[in-house]
Amino acid sequence: MLQKALHRAGRISHPARVMVTAAEAHRSHWQQALWFMRAEHRFVSESPGWSLLTTAAAVLAIAVQTPTALITLLPARCYVADEWTLTLALHRALSERRLHSEGILTLGIMGSGLDEDYLVLREPEDRPTIAVAYTAQRPTQWVARDLVREGAVVASGIYIASAGALAALLYRYWPTLTRKILRHLEKSHVPGVENRITPAIAQEALHAAARPFWDRPPWLTLRALRVAQCGWSSLGSTEAIKRIATP
C-alpha cells in the first residue's frame, strides 16, 4: 500500500517533493520502501498512533519555506482499483486554479463502500465543487445506501490546499501546539537527518488540543470535488480488508 501511495504521489508531483509521515514502531515495514527519499523528507513519530501530528509537522515545515505551495495530503492506507480515474481527478484538482482557490478541497468518491465515512453534500451550486454539510462516520450499511441515494460521497481523506491555508487552521485550532512544533523543527532540523516527533510533543497535544488530536484534522472539509467510482476502499475494518484480499 505504501509503495502504491508513493507511485500515486509521483504521478502528480516530482518525487523529490514528496514527504512521508511514519511511526518508528513500524520502521521495518517502511524503511525499505523509502530508501530513495531524502531523510529530511521523513517525519517520524516515536509514539505510534500520532500520524496527524507528524502530518501537521510536515505541513508546517513546508509552510515556513513556501506558504503558497500547493499541498496534497494522500493517505497510504487505502486501496484503489482504478488508479487512472483517481489520477485524472487529482490532476484536475491541482491544475484548475478555481478548484483550490476556494480554500481546502477534498475528493469525494461516488458510489458506496464497506465501513466508509461519507461526506453529505449541500445543494449543488453553479460551481465545480460542492459544499460539505457534515461527515457521517461509518454509518450502517442501510444508512449508507440512503446517503448515497441522496448524493453523499465516500470520504477519501485526500485534501488539497495551500501550505499557508493549512498552517492557518493549525494556528487557529492548536496555537500553542503549533508554535511548539515549529520551535522543535527549527531546533532539531539537520540536513540528511529525519524529523522526529517526540513523545513529549504528543503529550503536549493531549493538553493543548481542544479535542483529541486523532479525532479529526483541523482542515475540516469545506468543499468536495466528486470523483467517478474508482474502486476506492479506506480499508477501515477487517471485513473491508478481506473483501479486497479475497480474489
Q: What is the pLDDT of residues 148-168, one digit of tens each?
A: 999 999 999 999 999 999 999
Q: For residue 110, what is its C-alpha cell?
A: 461516488
Checking 5-14 for CB contacts under 8 A at 24+ apart, the result is 5/74, 5/75, 5/76, 5/78, 6/33, 6/34, 8/74, 8/80, 8/83, 8/86, 8/87, 8/90, 9/72, 9/74, 11/87, 11/90, 12/72, 12/87, 12/90, 12/91, 12/94, 13/72
CB-CB contact of 222 with 130 (8 Å): no
Output the average pLDDT for the chain: 88
> Could you tell me the domains of the chain?
2-245 (3.90.550.10)
Q: What is the pLDDT of residues 173-196, one digit of tens each?
A: 888 888 889 998 888 888 889 999
Q: For residue 76, what is its C-alpha cell?
A: 497510504
pLDDT for the residue 219: 61
Q: Tell the burial category of 151 from Cβ atoms under 10 Å away from its Cβ (0-12, 13-18, 19+).
A: middle
Mean pLDDT computed over 4-21 = 93
Residues 6+ apart with CB under 8 A from 205: 50, 53, 174, 177, 213
Query: Would you place residue 213 in the very low, low, confident or very high pLDDT band (cuts 50, 70, 90)?
Result: very low
Q: What is the pLDDT of residues 47-56, one digit of tens each?
A: 877 788 899 9
